[in-house]
Chain A
Amino acid sequence: MSAETPEERRFEVGDEVRVALSHPPGHRRTPFYIRGKTGVVERYCGAFRNPEELAYGFDGEPRRHLYRVRFRQHDIWDGYDGPEQDTLDLEIYQHWLERA
């Protein structure tokens, strides 16, 4: 990781967040199925160079905060065929998140 200061951190563990319902072109790390869905920050993973820019040869600076967000399966899929409490965790960069 570089010495450059990462962007300001906006979320804490336990915050309810919504993934942006956005479809920009290019190399993105936010799977389509989770866009627009609401979950809870489960852990803070650290600041990483932005892979969406690294993919095109940029330096990925400033580093972006990465969060582990937990979603209820029933909030993701209509007709999820399992119990209420099942969950799915995935890593979302801060610039994809808004306060729910």
Chain B
Amino acid sequence: MAEEERGHVEAHHHDHHHEVAPENRDVEETGHYELMATAIRELLVEKGVVTPEQIREQLEFMDSRGPALGAEIVAKAWTDPAFRERLLDDGTAAVGELGIPMAGTELVVVENTPDTHNMIVCTLCSCYPRTILGLPPDWYKSKSYRSRAVIEPRAVLEEFGTTVADDVTVRVHDSNADMRYLVLPMQPEGTESWDAERLAGIVTRDCMVGVALPDASG
């Protein structure tokens, strides 16, 4: 009898192990947080706080946001000194001129110079200028980036292939409250004659987060 029980328990453990294998969980189970999000969304609709149409419009809005908007802002700043000044003075108002809304947050644009390199992180969660760059990449949300970017920014930059000289200040911006940040990179040498559209082509998402530099050699 005891033998049978033990055998049964072992068989059960064996099955259980398979039930929680990651491949099964991904395909067959809805995660806890996904269920919670769905439940909250349904309740908000049920109680008339938001309509399904508003949710759909918001998804459509977020899908229309991406790094191309940020690249347009940077290229405009490189080719229009008066705009650049307004952008550094009041980022929210300046991107508004281009028809880009900040949707309730304030934009601070920080400028890279020969003396200063800026990089952005949100240690508390994953605050990111979503209305300008779209959804953040997974690495930006990772605990590793969020902790190491403030403790050892130069080592993190090296891993992105970005070496900052010792006589240049590395200035990390922890996006921990109501501001959102965008890095205005330095315009690479040799691109002075380029028009804004061509310039925008070398401004990548990572340049505007401050972990990379624009490359005009391609």
Contacts and interface: CB of A to CB of B under 8 A. Distances in A.
Interface in A43-100: 45-46, 48, 51, 66, 68, 73, 76-77, 80-83, 85-93
A36 to B, nearest CB: 16
Given A31-B123, A81-B154, A48 B172 contact: no
Contact of B177 (A51, A76, A77): A51
Contacts of A51: 177-178
B205 interface: no
Contact of B152 (A30, A33, A81, A83): A81
Contacts of B106: 45-46
B215 to A, nearest CB: 24
Interface string B95-109: 000000000001010
Contacts of A90: 173-174, 176-177
Contacts of A85: 169
A86 B169 contact: yes
Contacts of A29: 124, 176-177
B194 to A, nearest CB: 31
Given A33-B150, A77-B151, A86 B171 contact: yes
Interface residues of A, number: 26
Contacts of A30: 176
Interface in B143-170: 150-155, 166-167, 169-170
Nearest to B169: A85
Contacts of A80: 151
B174 A86 contact: no
B178 A89 contact: no
B178 A91 contact: yes
A80 B148 CA distance: 12
A88 B150 contact: yes
A51 to B, nearest CB: 7
A66 B177 contact: yes
B177 A93 contact: yes
The 8 closest A-B pairs by CB, nearest first: A91-B177, A90-B174, A88-B172, A85-B169, A86-B170, A29-B177, A48-B178, A89-B173
Interface of B: 106, 108, 123-124, 150-155, 166-167, 169-179
Given A68-B179, A89-B172, A90-B174, 8 more contacts: A33-B123, A46-B106, A80-B151, A81-B155, A86-B170, A88-B171, A88-B172, A90-B176
